[in-house]
């Protein structure tokens, strides 16, 4: 959102405000709204390119810009496969279940920015979608334009934070990369004790949970090494 007053989004307390209003849209799955610090590269990387003039105009308004982060707790994950040369290849697409939550989250973020007084609101779609409250368009026209622009791969910019569950722990090599103590099923004496150990994404900042897993499994490893 672009405001009349200066925001200077690279200054001040980062992520000082959040909302759990949409956190449990379906069971424990939904989105969390967060304020976020911005630097030009973060703000402009997902911006749809229309012309040098349009890009320059938004850059000049960067000091007046604020963003709402829509943090999705996705239920349906991606896959990592090994190609013929032994390199990991990842693939990820939003499922219909997760896409529905993301769409509602974008609508909610636009409402927040409009209520805060933003004069221009735009989304990170590949096709530029925007409106100017009280002047040009509305939330309804923004939603229409976003739906036309699409919600699939290549149609909007998404960022990934706190990637979890890529080497999940569990009680079987059929469903997990490591055993409950973090030792990999495939290579003994190789241990994983970080965010990739999570069985699934938590939907919130995982710092304390990562510390707990690392502490618990490090103690188990120390006990094992001591006994041997």
Spans of all domains in the chain: 18-149, 162-228
Average confidence (pLDDT) over 138-145: 98
Per-residue pLDDT tens digits for 176-208: 999 999 999 999 999 999 999 998 888 788 999
Nearby residues of 35 by Cβ (< 8 Å), 6 or more positions away? 15, 16, 17, 18, 66, 67, 68, 69
Higher pLDDT, 91 or 218: 218
Per-residue pLDDT tens digits for 80-92: 889 999 998 988 8
Average confidence (pLDDT) over 17-45: 91
- Compute the half-sphere exposure of residue 62: CA atoms within 13 Å on the CB side of its CA: 17
pLDDT value at 228 more than 80 = no
Residue 222 is predicted with a pLDDT of 95
Residue 142 is predicted with a pLDDT of 98
Residue 86 is predicted with a pLDDT of 93
Average confidence (pLDDT) over 85-110: 94
Residue 162 is predicted with a pLDDT of 84
Using pLDDT thresholds of 50, 70 and 90, give the confidence band for residue 12: confident
pLDDT value at 1 more than 90 = yes
- DSSP string of 34-103, one letter each residue: EE----HHHHHTTPPP--HHHHHHHHHTGGGB--EEEEE--SS--EEEE-TTS-EEEE----HHHHHHHH
Per-residue pLDDT tens digits for 32-46: 999 988 888 888 888
Average confidence (pLDDT) over 204-219: 93
Residue 217 is predicted with a pLDDT of 95
DSSP 169: B
pLDDT value at 110 more than 90 = yes
Residue 179 is predicted with a pLDDT of 96
pTM for the full predicted model: 0.83
- Residue among 221, 222, 151, 202 nearest 32 (CA): 202
Percent pLDDT > 90 in the chain is: 74
Percent pLDDT > 70 in the chain is: 100
Per mean pLDDT, which range of 13-17, 154-158, 205-209 is the poorest?
13-17
């Amino acid at each position: 959102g672009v405001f009349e007053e200066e925001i200077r989004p690279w200054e001040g307390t980062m992520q000082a405000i959040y909302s759990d209003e949409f956190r449990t849209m379906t069971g424990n799955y939904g989105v969390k709204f967060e304020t976020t610090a911005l630097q030009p590269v973060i703000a402009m990387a997902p911006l749809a390119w229309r012309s040098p003039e349009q890009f320059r105009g938004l850059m000049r308004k960067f000091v007046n810009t604020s963003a709402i982060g829509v943090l999705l707790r996705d239920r349906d994950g991606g896959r990592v496969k090994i190609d013929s040369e032994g390199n990991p290849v990842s693939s990820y697409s939003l499922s219909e279940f997760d896409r529905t939550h993301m769409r509602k989250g974008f609508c909610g973020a636009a409402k927040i920015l409009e209520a805060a007084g933003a004069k221009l609101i735009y989304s990170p779609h590949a096709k530029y979608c925007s409106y100017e409250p009280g002047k040009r368009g509305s939330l309804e026209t923004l939603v229409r334009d976003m739906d036309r622009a699409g919600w699939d791969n290549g149609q909007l910019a998404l960022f990934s934070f706190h990637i979890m569950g890529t080497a999940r722990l569990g009680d079987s090599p059929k469903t997990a990369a490591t055993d409950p103590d973090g030792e990999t099923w495939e290579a003994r004496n190789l241990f994983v004790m970080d965010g990739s150990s999570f069985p699934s994404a938590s939907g919130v900042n995982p710092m304390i949970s990562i510390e707990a897993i690392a502490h618990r499994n490090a103690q188990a490893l120390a006990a094992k090494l001591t006994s041997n």
